[in-house]
Amino acid sequence: MGRFHRHTDGTEHTHDHHHDHDHRDVGDHSGYAETGVSRVAVLESILSENDRVADANREDLVAGGVWAVNIMSSPGAGKTALLKRTLVALGEEVRVGVLEGDIATSLDADELGGLGAAISLVNTSAGFGGECHLDAVMVRSGLTRLPLDQLDLLLIENVGNLVCPAEFDVGQHARAMVYAVTEGEEKPLKYPVMFRAADVVVVNKVDLLPHLDFDLDLFLSNLRAINPTATVIQLSARTGEGVDEWCTWLRQHLVSADQASASRT
Amino acid sequence: MHELSLGQAILDHTLARAGDRPVRCVEVRIGHLRQVVPDSLQFAWEMLTESTDLADCELVIEHVPAVVHCNACGADTTLDLPVLACAACEDMGVELRSGEELELAWIDVAEGAR
C-alpha cells in the first residue's frame, strides 16, 4: 500500500511498499542519510504490556480468593439479562462482584443494582472516542473499586462486540461467550477468534427457537469446527430455562479454584 | 477497531526499544487467525505517528499463514478458513503450528537522536 512520506527537505511523496527489498537499505528515503541504520530484533508480543497487567490482575484476584469470568458477546445477545438471572439465582450463597464494561452510560450497571452484588462500572469512552473492548488496564482500574477480599466470584461484562474483546486478556480465569440463536448459524466461522477463545459458550434465547428457522445442529457443528472443547450451555435468560446449568458451571469452577488455592497453602 | 489499540501498543513498544534514536521502519508479524485488518492497522499507525517524529517510520505487516500439523496423516497444511481440520485428510486431530502471532519482529533504528 502507498506510504506517504514527508522529508526533512520539505518534499513529499508516496511510494508503494514491496517486500522484496532490504529495509536496511534506507537509501534516499532515510532523511538520516548521514547515519547508519541497524536492525533491532524485538520478537515480543505486541500485547505483552497488556498481558503483564492481566497477570497482575489475576494475582490480585487469587490473593483475594476471587474467581473471575470474562463474559463476551455481540451487542444484544443477553449478557446483562443473564447476569441479572445469575445474581438472583446465586443469591446469598456466593458473594458476587460485577465489573461492568460499557462504551458509555451506566444503564447496564443500573439494571444490576439492588441485587446484592458489588458493582464497578468502567466506561471505555475515555479511550480513543470509546474503546470497543475492555483491556487489562481498564479492568485494573475497575478492580480498585471492588472489595476483592469480600468476594468469591467476579463477573466481568465486556463491551458488546464479537471481535475485539477476544484479543485482550484482562486477568480472568475463564472466558464465557454469550451467543443468541437470533444471530445465525454461521457466526463461529465468521468470528473464529471469539469462538476459539471461549471456555464456555452460552447459547441464549432458546425460548425463541420455535419461532426461528435457526438450525441448532448446524450451529453446534460450526462451533465444534472452531472450538472442539468448549462447554455448551443452552438457556433462556428471559424465561430462566437452563440458567441452573450455567450456575452449576460457575459453582464447579469456584469449588475447583478453592481446592487449588487450599492445596497451595 | 482494536487495530487502533494494537497500533498504540506497537508504538509504545517501539519507543521503549528505540529510546531517543530515530526509527526508520517497524515490522510486525500478524497470524492469519487474528482477525486483524492490515489496512486498518496501517491507517491507525499513520494516524498515531502523524505529526510526531515517527511520522516517516514505516510499518511493515507480515502476514503469517495458519499452519496445522495433522496427528492422523502427519501432513502440515495451511488453513484458509479458520476451521481446524487437516486440509489433506480432513481429520480434526490437528495441532496449530502458526497463525496466532501478534508480535513486534524488529525495528530499524538510525544513529543519533530524534
pLDDT, one tens digit per residue, over A62-74 is 999 999 999 999 9
Evaluate whether residue B75 is within a structural domain: yes
Q: Tell me whether residues A6 and B56 touch, CB distance under 8 A.
A: yes
Q: Which of residues 132-151 of A touch B (CB under 8 A)?
A: 132-133, 135
pLDDT, residue A2, reads: 42
B23 touching A (Cβ < 8 Å): no
pLDDT, residue A42, reads: 92
The whole-model pTM stands at 0.83
CB within 8 A of A174, min separation 6: which ones? A68, A69, A70, A199, A200, A253
Rounded to an integer, the average pLDDT of A185-198 is 91
pLDDT, residue A126, reads: 60
Above 90 in pLDDT, residue A164?
no
CB within 8 A of A164, min separation 6: which ones? A132, A133, B1, B2, B5
Phi/psi region, residue A10 (left: phi>0; alpha: psi -120 to 50; beta: rest), is left
pLDDT by residue (tens digit) across A117-149? 999 998 877 655 567 889 999 999 999 999 999
* Chain A residues near residue B22 by CB distance under 8 angstroms: 31-32, 35
Q: Are A103 and A113 spatial neighbours (Cβ–Cβ below 8 Å)?
A: no
Q: Which of residues 186-205 of A touch B (CB under 8 A)?
A: 189, 191-193, 196
pLDDT, residue A65, reads: 95
pLDDT, residue A18, reads: 44
CA dihedral sign of residues A164, A167, A168, A172: positive
What is the number of H-type helices and E-type strands within chain B?
Answer: 2, 6
Instruction: Please state, in angstroms and rounded to a whole number, the distance separating the CA atoms of residues B78 and B96.
Output: 10
Q: What is the DSSP string of B53-104?
A: TTTT-EEEEEEEPEEEEETTT--EEEESSS--S-TTT--S-EEEEES--EEE
Evaluate whether residue B114 is within a structural domain: no
The torsion angles phi and psi of A96, rounded to 5 degrees, stand at -110, 140
pLDDT, residue A31, reads: 46
Q: Are B73 and B89 spatial neighbours (Cβ–Cβ below 8 Å)?
A: yes
Angle at A178 between CA A125 and CA A102, to 5 degrees: 10
Q: Which domain holds residue B20?
A: 2-109
Pick among A28, A42, A169 to test the B interface (most B CBs inside 10 A): A42
- Chain centroid to Cα A188, Å, comes to 16
pLDDT, residue B112, reads: 82
pLDDT, residue A28, reads: 43
Instruction: Please state, in angstroms and rounded to a whole number, the distance separating the CA atoms of residues A229 and A196.
Output: 9
pLDDT by residue (tens digit) across B49-97? 998 989 999 999 999 999 999 999 999 999 988 888 899 999 888 899 9
Q: In chain A, where does the domain assigned CATH 3.40.50.300 lie?
A: 48-264
B107 touching A (Cβ < 8 Å): yes
Evaluate whether residue B30 is within a structural domain: yes
pLDDT by residue (tens digit) across A15-62? 444 444 444 444 444 444 445 899 999 999 999 999 999 999 999 999
Q: Which of residues 59-78 of B touch A (CB under 8 A)?
A: 60, 62
Rounded to an integer, the average pLDDT of B12-25 is 93
pLDDT, residue A14, reads: 45
Above 50 in pLDDT, residue A156?
yes
How many residues does the structure list for chain A?
265
pLDDT, residue A27, reads: 41
| Pick from B16, B34, B15, B25: nearest CA to B105 | B25
The pLDDT-based confidence of B1 (bands split at 50, 70, 90) is low
pLDDT, residue A1, reads: 39
CATH 3.40.50.300 fits A48-264, yes or no: yes
* Chain B residues near residue A43 by CB distance under 8 angstroms: 103-106
Helices A48-63, A136-143: crossing angle, 10 deg rounding: 30
Neighbours of A77 (CB within 10 A): 25
User: CB contacts < 8 Å between A and B, how many?
Assistant: 132
pLDDT, residue A92, reads: 80
Instruction: Please state, in angstroms and rounded to a whole number, the distance separating the CA atoms of residues B29 and A131.
Output: 23
Place of cell 446469598: A92
Report the CATH number that the domain containing residue B39 is assigned in CATH.
3.30.2320.80
In terms of average pLDDT, the best of A233-242, B12-21, B104-113 is A233-242
A102 vs B55, which has greater pLDDT?
B55
Pick among B2, B29, B36, B102 to test the A interface (most A CBs inside 10 A): B2
Above 90 in pLDDT, residue A13?
no
Chain B residue with CA closest to A24: the answer is: B108
Place of cell 476483592: A148
Q: Tell me whether residues A133 and B13 touch, CB distance under 8 A.
A: no
